[in-house]
């Protein structure tokens, strides 16, 4: 499956969320990641994020697609990340 | 068609982008909007954003879907906006 994850997290936790998601997905731009993962990895991401975020203050939105083919992606301005690039 | 728009824009322009997108789409969370629009509206949004953003410094990502049915959306933590709510 293919996922897009966008987060709106307090500044105290934002670097932790970013560093974590970098290990699983590709960085697109500020607070935005995407990537092809398994259902098991998605479950792990959700469990791990639950340990990092404050559920009373932070917000994470996960868009899930059965197939990347459903998504058409357009960029305006500079391209900060590339979905074809592995971010280490 | 259904679109998700995420932007990573300099602080000088971020409120302008947010205020503009509020007139066309539904606010989901910080720097993230989505909504059902026509192809003509998408074209207008792209033209209008081009007037607002600095192409050398800002980044806007637009995900386009033929049908909202392709998208499954999950939230973690607080829900900041609601896609079923009209934002005025």
Q: How many residues does chain A have?
A: 88
Task: Show residues of chain B in contact with A83, CB under 8 Å.
Answer: none
Q: Is A64 exposed, middle or buried (0-12, 13-18, 19+ CB in 10 A)?
A: middle
Work out the pLDDT band at A80, boundaries 50, 70, 90. confident
A33-71 per-position pLDDT tens digit: 999 999 999 999 999 999 999 999 999 999 999 989 889
Q: What is the pLDDT of residue B82?
A: 60
Of A49, A62, A71, the CB nearest to B63: A71
How far is the C-alpha of A25 from the C-alpha of A4, rounded, in Å? Answer: 9
Task: Show residues of chain B in contact with A5, CB under 8 Å.
Answer: none
Report the 3 state secondary structure along chain B.
CEEEEEEECCHHHHHHHHHHHHCCCEEEECCEEEEECCHHHHHHHHHHHHHHCCCCCCEEEEEEECCHHHCEEEEEECCCCCCCCCCC
Strands B59-65 and A72-77 come out as antiparallel
Quote the ipTM score. 0.87
Q: What is the pLDDT of residue A32?
A: 96
Contact of B42 with chain A, judged by CB distance below 8 Å, is answered with: no
Task: Please name every residue paired with B8 in a beta bridge, in sequence order, or none if there are none.
Answer: B59
Q: Are A62 and B75 in contact (CB < 8 Å)? A: yes
Sign of CA dihedral A73, A57, B22, B7: negative
How far is the C-alpha of B4 from the C-alpha of B26, rounded, in Å? Answer: 9
How far is the C-alpha of B2 from the C-alpha of B10, rounded, in Å? Answer: 26
| Higher per-residue confidence, B81 vs A31 | A31
Q: What is the pLDDT of residue B40?
A: 98
Of A8, A71, A76, the CB nearest to B30: A8
- Spell out the domains of chain A, with CATH numbers in brackets: 2-70 (3.30.70.240)
B58-74 per-position pLDDT tens digit: 999 999 999 898 899 99
Residue A29 three-state SS:
strand
Of A50, A55, A78, the CB nearest to B59: A78
How far is the C-alpha of B17 from the C-alpha of A58, rounded, in Å? Answer: 22
Contact of B78 with chain A, judged by CB distance below 8 Å, is answered with: yes
Sign of CA dihedral A82, A18, A9, A40: positive
Residue B16 Cα, gap to closest chain A Cα (Å): 16
Asked whether the predicted pLDDT for residue B85 surpasses 70, the reply is no
B12-23 per-position pLDDT tens digit: 999 999 999 999
Residue numbers of A between 43 and 72 with CB closer than 8 Å to B: 46, 49-50, 53-66, 70-72
């Amino acid at each position: 499956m293919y996922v897009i994850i966008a987060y709106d997290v307090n500044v105290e936790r934002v670097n932790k969320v970013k560093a974590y998601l970098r290990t699983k997905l590709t960085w697109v731009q500020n607070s935005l990641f995407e990537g092809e993962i398994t259902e098991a990895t998605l479950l792990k991401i959700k469990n791990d994020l639950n340990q990092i975020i404050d559920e009373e203050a932070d917000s994470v939105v996960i868009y899930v697609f059965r197939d990347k083919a459903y998504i058409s992606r357009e960029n305006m301005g500079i391209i900060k990340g590339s979905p074809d690039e592995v971010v280490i």
